[in-house]
Amino acid sequence: MTIQEPANVALAGIPAPGLAFVILVAALCLFAYIMNRRIDLLRKAMPDPRFDDIGERIRLALVYGFGQWKQPRYLVGGIIHILLFAGFMILSLRSLTLIGRGFSAEFNLPGLTGSVGMAYEVLKDYAVLMVLVVCIVAIIRRAVFKPARYAHAPGQGHEAEAYVILGMVSALMLTDMIYDGSHLAATGHTDAGLLPAATVASLFMAGSSPAALNALHIGGYWAHILIFFGFLNYLPMSKHFHVITAIPNVFFANVDKGRIKPVRHGVDEWMDLDECGITRFESFTWKHVLDFYSCADCGRCTDNCPANAVGRSLSPRMISIKARDYAYKYYPVFGTAPDPGDIKFVGDVITESEIWACTTCGACENECPILIEYIDKIVDMRRYLVDQGQVPQSLQKPMQAIKKKGNAYGGAKGKRAAWTKELDGIEVKELKAGDATDLLFFVDSCGSFDPRIQELSRSLARILAKSSTDFGILGQDETDSGNEIRRLGEEGLFEQLAQKNIAAFQDRQFKEIVAFDPHAFNAIKNDYPERFPIVHASQVIDRLIKAGRIRLSSDYLAGRVVTYHDPCYLGRHNQIYYEPRQVIQAVPGVRFRDMERSFDRSFCCSGGGVMLWYESEEEKERMGERRVRMAEQIGAQVIVTGCPFCLINLEDAVKTTGNEGKIEVIDLVELVDRSLV
Amino acid sequence: MDIIVCMKWTPDTSEADLTVDKEGKDIRKDDLDFDMNDWDRFAIEEAVQLKEKVGGKVTAVAVAPEDAEGMLRECLARGADEAYQLWDDAFEGSDGYAVAAILAKFIKDRPHDLVLTGTLADDDCGGQIGGMVAAMLDIPGSTLVSKIQISDGKLTCHRELEGGLYESIEMDLPAVLSVATGLNEPRFVSVRAVRKVAALEIPTLELGDLGLEASAVGSDGSRIRIELMELPPEGEGAEIITGKAEEAAAKLAEILKEKGGIGS
Ligand code: SF4
Ligand code: SF4
C-alpha cells in the first residue's frame, strides 16, 4: 500500500507547497515582529560592553549552554532538563526537515541523506519517544509531587504556562509519531528496534483503512507544522523565552566575578548624570533585561537564597519574574503600552525591603543554570534608593560614620593601630610614606576597631612574626575598604575610600597585600580601579606551612571534630576553597568534616561589613543560626571560618541556639595562632 | 510657607576620651570631630517633608564658625533651599540666650511661618533655644514635638508626654517648634547629593549684617557664666552582688532604694 505525501496533496484546492509557503512566511514574519519588539527594549536599555573575551564566552556557551553544566546540581530536575534539551537539539533538525517536506516530499537537509540520514531517522525517533516520556514525567512531577521551589505566591505564578509548554511539546512529539507511524503502518514495515516511536504509533493504527492512514499522515503533518510555529511564536510571549535566549544569555554572562558594575558603562563622570541607578525600567542594562527574558522560573536561585530562607521578603527568582511581567506589560508586543502612572519599578514592583535584604552572597548567581545575575541589579536598585536618600535607618549610622571617620565603628582615625599595643614582644611597623616592606597587612576597620576582631589582627601579626615575615600596616593612612559601601549603592563614597587606600598603597613599597577579611580582600582585588597584588591570610599561611616556616600542633584542637564555613567573599566570589582547608588539614590528626552545604553552596551567615548593622524586621531566625544547626548536624565541635564577620555572626548564633560550650567558632588565623609550635 | 530651621554644630563625644581645657571652663575640642546635632537632623527633615507636602521654602541657619559649612551644605543636600551661616568673632562665648538673640534677629528680618529646631543639643543639652526664640519673636512655641500637621494656616502638633501620653496642640502661625527625635526618618545624604549642591552659595552674616550690637552677643550678651568644668571623679569600684538570683535581686533593690535610685 502506498501513502500520499503532504507535499503532493492540495488542501482546500491550494497546492501544498503554496500553503507551506504561506504558513512559513506568515510565521516567520510574526516571529520577526515579536522578536523585534522584544529586542527593542534591549536597545532602549543601558549599554554594557559584553563583547570582550570572546574565547571565554564561547567556553561559557559550550559548558553552561550546550553542556548544561549546572543542571545536575538538582538531580531530578536537572536530568529531566538535560534529556529535554538533548531531545530539542536533535529534533530541531527534524523540524527543519519537516518544514521542507511541505514543499517537496523528498526533502532532506543537506548532509542528512543516505546512511547518515537513516542514522538520523533512528536517532530522532528515539529522541521523540524520550521527549514524550520526559514531558509526561515532568507534568506528573509538577502536578503531583509539586517541588517546593516551583511554588508561587498567589497571583504571581505562571504555573499554567508550564503546562501549556509541556502540552505543546508533547503534541509536537505525538503529531510527529502520527505522521511517521501512519507511514509505517501503510507501508507495512515495522522495526521497533530502529524506529520505536513510529512503531508504537503504528500499532495504534493497525487495521486502519488506507484512507484513514492517509488522512492521519497528512493531518499529523500539518498539525505538527502549525504547532511548531505556534510554539516558536509563543516562546517570546511566555516565561519559556529561555528556549531562545538561554544560550545567548550564557554567552553574554558576566566574566568579571566579584566586581560590581560601574554606575554607567563608558561614563566616568557618572556624578554629573541626571540619573543614578534604576530610576526607571530602562535604566537596567540590556544584559539585565535579557536576564529577565531568560529566567526559566526554576526557583533554584531562591531555593539557595539565605535571605529568603530566613523569611525575608527577597526572592531573587521573583525579581526576574516581576521584572519580566513588567517588561511584557509596559513594553507589549501588540497594542499600545499602558501608562504605569505612579507605579515605580523600584519601590512598588520591587520593594525596598526586598532590595535591602540581599547580603550579596552570590548563592543565587552561582546556582542559576543560565548564569543570571542578581548582585549588580540589586546594587543598581540600591544606587537609586541611595540617590533618593532612602536608606534604612539601621544602615545610615555606620555609613555616615564611614563617610566622616573612615570606619563604621565611629573610632578616631588616630586609633587605627591601637590593637598593636597589646601584642607582647612584637613590634608592628606602621609604614610611613616611602617605607618598604614585603607584606602589607591591610587590617580594615573591623580589625582595627572591633574588639573581638582585633584579636584576629593580633593573631595574624603573631603568625607573621613567628615566621619571620617582614610586614607592616598603614596605620592612620588606612581607611575602610569600601566593599559594602559599594554594594550598598553609595558609589561616591566608595570612590573616595578607594582613592584614599590606593594613594596609601602607592606611597609605599611592598610585594603583596594581605587581608584576613575577605570583604576587604575582594574590594581591593576586584573593585579598585588600580590593581595591586593581594592575597588572603589563608593563602599566606598555606604557603608558610608548605615552606616549613611554621608548624602546627594538635594541642588546641585536641581531637575535636572540625568543620569549615566557606565565607561568600572568599569562596563564591573569589574561588578560594582549598587553601583554608589545607591549613586546617595541616593540624596533625585533625578530624575534619565538611558540612553538606560547603564550597560554592556554602550558606551565608548574614552578610559582612556594614551589613552587620542591618536590621531586618521580616526574618524569623538568623541566618547564622541556620548555619550553626548545619554544623550541629554533622557533629562539629569547632567551626573554623575565614572571615571576621562570619565569626561574629556565628558566635552569636552559637549562643542563641544553645550551643555555647558545645561548639566553638574561630577564625582560621586564630586556629593557626593557637596551634603554633 | 517659609520654614526656617536652626541648626547646631556639635562635637561628637561618643567615642572620644574627654579632657577639660586649661581654663577649666570647657572640654578640649580641638581633637573632636564635629557634626550636625542629631536632634536637628530630624528638624531639617521635617521642614523638607512639610515643604514637599504644602510647598514653600526651607532656610537652614546656624550660629557656628566656618568649619560648620559642611553641615549647612548637608542641609542643602537634604532639601533646604538656602542656608546661612551666622558668625562673627564677637559671637564667641555666647550662651543659649545670646545664640537665641542672634537667631531671633536673623528670623525677624525675613519671612517666617514656621521655625523648627531640635529640642536639645547633643553637647550641652540646654534645650533653651526653641523657647527663647519664640519668646523673643513673641510667637507661640512648643517643645518635644513628635508630629506636625498644617492645614488652612493652622498648625496642629503632637507632643509626647511621659507614660505614653500624647498631647495635641493647635496654634497659629508663625510658631517655633522644637522637635523630638524619631518624628520622621531622616533621609540619607550621599556624596553625590552633596556634590549636586556644591555650587550653591552659603552666605555668612556677621554682627553688622545682622544689625546686632556687640554687647548683645558673646559673653557680654550671655546670662550664664561657667565657673568650673570637671570630669566626674572616678568611682570607688563597683560592688558585685553574689548569691542566688532572688537574693541578689532583693539586695540590689535595697541598695537602689537606699541610694535614691528608685522611689520607696
Ligand atoms: S546574593 Fe544571596 S542574598 Fe542576595 S539574592 Fe542572591 S542568594 Fe539572595
Ligand atoms: S534566575 Fe536562574 S535559577 Fe533563578 S529561577 Fe530564573 S532560571 Fe532559575
A298 lines ligand 2 (CB under 6 A): yes
State whether residue A534 is helix, strand or coil.
strand
pLDDT at A1: 66
Instruction: State whether A389 and B14 contact (CB < 8 Å).
Output: no
Chain A residues touching B15 at Cβ < 8 A: 409-412
**Burial label, A207 (beta-carbon count in 10 A; 0-12, 13-18, 19+):** exposed
Q: Which of A387, A393, A496 sits opposite B185 (nearest CB)?
A: A393
Q: Where are the domains of chain B?
A: 2-216, 238-264
A314 lines ligand 1 (CB under 6 A): yes
pLDDT at A313: 95
Cell numbers given for B20: 577639660
B256, pLDDT greater than 80: yes
Cis peptide before A17 (omega within 30 of 0): no
What confidence tens digit (pLDDT) does each residue in A298-324 have?
999 999 999 999 999 999 999 999 999
Torsion of Cα atoms, A41 then A46 then A52 then A55, to 10°: -40
Structural contact between residues A482 and A523, judged by C-beta atoms closer than 8 angstroms = yes
Instruction: State whether B35 and A386 contact (CB < 8 Å).
Output: no
Ligand 1 binding pocket mutation candidate from A291, A310, A321, A361 (most atoms within 8 A of CB): A361
Which residue matches cell numbers 584576629?
Answer: A456
Fill in the DSSP letter of residue B259: T
Q: How far is the CA of A606 from the centre of ligand 1 (A)?
A: 10
Residue B19: Cβ within 10 Å count: 9
Q: Which of A271, A389, A495 sits opposite B189 (nearest CB)?
A: A389
Instruction: State whether B188 and A412 contact (CB < 8 Å).
Output: no
The helix (H) or strand (E) run that includes residue B147 is strand B141-151
Q: How far is the CA of A314 from the centre of ligand 1 (A)?
A: 8
pLDDT at A109: 93
A300 lines ligand 2 (CB under 6 A): yes
Cis peptide before B174 (omega within 30 of 0): yes
Q: Say whether A561-675 and A270-387 share the same fold.
A: no
Chain B residues touching A386 at Cβ < 8 A: 188, 190
Structural contact between residues A478 and A449, judged by C-beta atoms closer than 8 angstroms = no
Cell numbers given for A527: 573593585
Q: How close is the nearest chain B Cα to the Cα of A504, in Å?
A: 21
Q: How far is the CA of A305 from the centre of ligand 1 (A)?
A: 5
The helix (H) or strand (E) run that includes residue B75 is helix B69-77
Model's pTM, two decimal places?
0.93
**In this structure, which amino acid lies at residue B192?**
R
Q: What is the mean pLDDT of chain B?
A: 91
- Sign of the alpha-carbon torsion through A568, A571, A574, A576: positive
Instruction: State whether A389 and B190 contact (CB < 8 Å).
Output: yes
Q: Where are the domains of chain A?
A: 15-45+69-147+158-237, 270-387, 405-546, 561-675
Question: How much is the ipTM here?
Answer: 0.89
Chain B residues touching A388 at Cβ < 8 A: 187
CATH architecture of residue range(s) B2-216: 3-Layer(aba) Sandwich (3.40)
pLDDT at A190: 66
pLDDT at B245: 78
What confidence tens digit (pLDDT) does each residue in B176-187 have?
999 999 899 999
What is the spatial distance between Cα A188 and Cα A191, in angstroms, rounded to a whole number? 10
Q: How close is the nearest chain B Cα to the Cα of A43, in Å?
A: 28
A453 lines ligand 1 (CB under 6 A): no
What is the spatial distance between Cα A300 and Cα A316, in angstroms, rounded to a whole number? 9
What confidence tens digit (pLDDT) does each residue in B48-58 have?
999 999 999 99
Torsion of Cα atoms, A447 then A450 then A500 then A374, to 10°: 90
**Burial label, A16 (beta-carbon count in 10 A; 0-12, 13-18, 19+):** buried
Please indicate if any CB of chain B lies within 8 Å of the CB of A389. Answer: yes
Which ligand places an atom closest to the C-alpha of A601? Answer: 1
CATH architecture of residue range(s) A270-387: Orthogonal Bundle (1.10)
Pairing of strands B141-151, B154-160: antiparallel
pLDDT at B13: 80
A375 lines ligand 1 (CB under 6 A): yes
- Sign of the alpha-carbon torsion through A388, A392, A395, A396: positive
A307 lines ligand 1 (CB under 6 A): yes
Please indicate if any CB of chain B lies within 8 Å of the CB of A219. Answer: no
Fill in the DSSP letter of residue B216: G
A305 lines ligand 2 (CB under 6 A): no
Q: Which residue has its alpha carbon closest to ligand 1 atom 3?
A: A358
Backbone angle region of B8, left / alpha / beta, with phi > 0 → left and psi within -120 to 50 → alpha? beta
Cell numbers given for B96: 543659649
Q: Which CATH class is domain A561-675?
A: alpha beta
A306 lines ligand 1 (CB under 6 A): yes
Ligand 2 binding pocket mutation candidate from A73, A298, A321, A324 (most atoms within 8 A of CB): A298
What is the spatial distance between Cα B233 and Cα A626, in angstroms, rounded to a whole number? 47
Chain B residues touching A412 at Cβ < 8 A: 15-16, 31, 33
Bridge partners (DSSP) of residue A285 are A46
Angle at B141 between CA B135 and CA B147, to 5 degrees: 165
Backbone angle region of A558, left / alpha / beta, with phi > 0 → left and psi within -120 to 50 → alpha? left
Phi, psi of B175 (to 5 degrees): -150, 165
Angle at B258 between CA B255 and CA B259, to 5 degrees: 85
Taking one residue from A and the other from B, the number of pairs with CB-CB distance under 8 angstroms is 49
The residue among B191, B194, B196, B197 with the most chain A CBs within 10 A of its CB, best to mutate, is B191
What is the CATH number that goes with domain A405-546?
3.40.50
A317 lines ligand 2 (CB under 6 A): yes
What is the spatial distance between Cα A162 and Cα A234, in angstroms, rounded to a whole number? 12
**In this structure, which amino acid lies at residue A404?**
K
What is the spatial distance between Cα B258 and Cα B239, in angstroms, rounded to a whole number? 14
- The number of helix segments (H) and strand segments (E) in chain A equals 26, 9
State whether residue A508 is helix, strand or coil.
coil
What is the spatial distance between Cα A61 and Cα B252, in angstroms, rounded to a whole number? 71
Instruction: State whether A387 and B192 contact (CB < 8 Å).
Output: yes
A362 lines ligand 1 (CB under 6 A): yes
Q: How close is the nearest chain A Cα to the Cα of B199, in Å?
A: 13
Structural contact between residues B191 and A492, judged by C-beta atoms closer than 8 angstroms = yes
Q: How far is the CA of A275 from the centre of ligand 2 (A)?
A: 29
**Distance of CA A42 to CAs A259, A262, A292, Å?**
23, 19, 11
Output the DSSP codes for A149-183: GG---TTS--HHHHHHHHHHHHHHHHHHHHHHHHH
Q: How close is the nearest chain B Cα to the Cα of A382, in Å?
A: 12
Regions of chain A short of the pLDDT cut 70:
1, 154-155, 190
Instruction: State whether B15 and A490 contact (CB < 8 Å).
Output: no
Which ligand places an atom closest to the C-alpha of A356? Answer: 1
Q: Which of B33, B190, B195 sits opposite A386 (nearest CB)?
A: B190
Q: How close is the nearest chain A Cα to the Cα of B76, in Å?
A: 13
